[in-house]
Structure 1
Amino acid sequence: MLISTNDFRTGMTIELDGDLYKIINYEHTKPGKGGAFIQTELKNLDTGSTTTKRFRSGEKVNKAYIETKPYQYLYRSGEDFVFMDKETYEQINLNEETLGEAIKYLKENEELELKLYEEEVIGVNIPSSVELAVADAPPAIKGNTISGGSKVVTLETGAEVKVPLFIEAGDILKIDTRTDEYIERV
C-alpha cells in the first residue's frame, strides 16, 4: 500500500528497496529555498542498524502491513525458542536473532503477540513491564550504601538488572522492558 511521506508517524513500518524499516523519528522541514522534505531516522528490521534518509514532501513509499497474532511461548529447545499459535495450535521455532532483546523477558507459558510480515515472523511485542522472580541475589554488604545502594541480581529468565540493596532471591520484581530498569517489588 502506497502512502505519502506526509503521513509518516513514529513507529510506522515502511518498505524501501526490499527491506523493512521502522520510523524511529521524523522531521518535516521547509527550507527558505527549494521544496519541503522529511528527514527520517530509520531502523532496519532485519539488521537492527539505523540510518537517516531524506524524502521529498509528498513522495510515495510502500507501507508495510505488519500483522500481530497471539502466541504462547512454550519452552527453549537448544538455540531455538518454541511458540504455539493460540488459534491453530501450530508450533514454530524462532531463533535469538528474530527475537532480539525480548529473550531476556520470555517466561514459559507466557502469552505474547508475534509480529508477522507476509506470514513470516519478524519480531515479538513484549509488554512495557513484566513481573519476574529474582533467581540469584548477592547479599547486601553493610557499608555499601555509599555507592548508591544498589546491586545487580539475576532474574528467572537470566536477565540481569540493577536493584536496591533490600531485594533478595525469591522476590517478584516489576521491570521496565524498554529500559531494563527495576520499577518496584511486587
Structure 2
Amino acid sequence: MPATPVINLRKGHAVRYNNDVCVVTDTELKTPPRMASFVQMSVRSITIGKMYNLRMTSNESLESVNLVKDNHEFSYKDGDGYHFIHPETFEDVLIGEDKLDAKTRGYLIEGQKYLVVFADDVVAGIELPANIIMTVTDSPAGVKGDSANNVYKEATTESGMRVQVPLFIGPGDKISVKTEDGTYLGRAN
C-alpha cells in the first residue's frame, strides 16, 4: 500500500507502524508559535493491543493498510471473547476483549448485526451503527406528580448499560440509543 502523509490520517484509519498493523485512535495537528507544525497521534496495535503515542512532523508518512468491513451477527460471549457469526457462511469470528473498549461492549446485543473490521485479514474491531434498539430491563417507577419537562431517570438495558430515559419508560420497553454518546433518542417498536 502507498504511504499516507500523517497530516491526512484520521481516527479509524489503519497504518503499519513498528512492523505491526495499527488503527489510529486519535490525531491532532499542533502548530506551536515559532516552531514547525507536528501531528500528535495515538495508534493501537490490532495484534497485541498496545497503544503508541506518536509525534511526527506534518510531512512524514506512514504506510496505509486496507480495511475491509463485513456484516456479522453478535452471537454470544464466553471466556475466550465475543463471537460474531457471518450470516451467509456461518463462519465464527472471535474478537478478544482487548479489541473492544467498555463503551463498545455496552452496545453488544445477541442477534444484532455489526460491521466487523478486518485489516490485513486480522480482526481490528467492530463498527457500531449510529443508533441501536435496546430493551430496558430495570427502571425505577416514576413518581406521581413528577411530570415537569425533561425529567429523566436512569434505566438499565439488556446489555447492562445505563441510559437516562424519560419517566414514562419502564421495564420491557424498547428504546433507541445513540451509540456516539449513549443518549436516549426515543421509543422503538
TM superposition score category, shorter chain reference: 0.7 to 0.9
Q: Deviations over 1:20-54 (max 9, x none)?
A: 14152322638546xx4332232425547573x33
Q: 1:78 to 1:141 in 2, by over 3 A?
A: farther
Counterpart code for 1:69: D
Equivalent pair of 1:73/1:107 in contact (CA under 8 Å) = yes
- State the superposition RMSD in angstroms: 2.8
What residue is the counterpart of 2:81 in the other structure?
Answer: 80
Q: Distance in 2 between matches of 1:115 and 1:143?
A: 48
Q: Does 1:139 align with 2:152?
A: no
Equivalent pair of 2:7/2:29 in contact (CA under 8 Å) = no
Counterpart code for 2:10: R
What residue is the counterpart of 2:114 in the other structure?
Answer: 112
Counterpart code for 2:66: Y
Q: Does 1:152 align with 2:149?
A: no
For structure 2, the residue ranges without an aligned partner over 5 or more in a row are none
Q: 1:155 to 1:50 in 2, by over 3 A?
A: farther
Question: Secondary structure of the residue that 2:124 maps to in structure 1?
Answer: strand
Q: Which moved more, 1:61-70 or 1:7-16?
A: 7-16
TM-score (norm: length of structure 2): 0.79
Q: Distance in 1 between matches of 2:115 and 2:57?
A: 35
Equivalent pair of 2:4/2:63 in contact (CA under 8 Å) = yes
For structure 1, the residue ranges without an aligned partner over 5 or more in a row are none
Question: Secondary structure of the residue that 1:102 maps to in structure 2?
Answer: helix
Q: Distance in 1 between matches of 2:110 and 2:117?
A: 19
Q: Distance in 2 between matches of 1:131 and 1:48?
A: 32
Residue identity (%): 24
Equivalent pair of 2:65/2:120 in contact (CA under 8 Å) = no
Counterpart code for 2:42: L
Q: 1:127 to 1:45 in 2, by over 3 A?
A: farther
Q: Distance in 1 between matches of 2:32 and 2:142?
A: 57
Q: How many residue pairs were aligned?
A: 182
Tell me by how many angstroms 1:75 deviates.
2.5
Equivalent pair of 1:134/1:171 in contact (CA under 8 Å) = yes
Tell me by how many angstroms 1:181 deviates.
1.6
Tell me by how many angstroms 1:144 deviates.
5.9
**5 Å matches for 1:156-175?**
156-175=158-177
Q: Distance in 1 between matches of 2:186 and 2:45?
A: 32
Q: Does 1:41 align with 2:48?
A: no
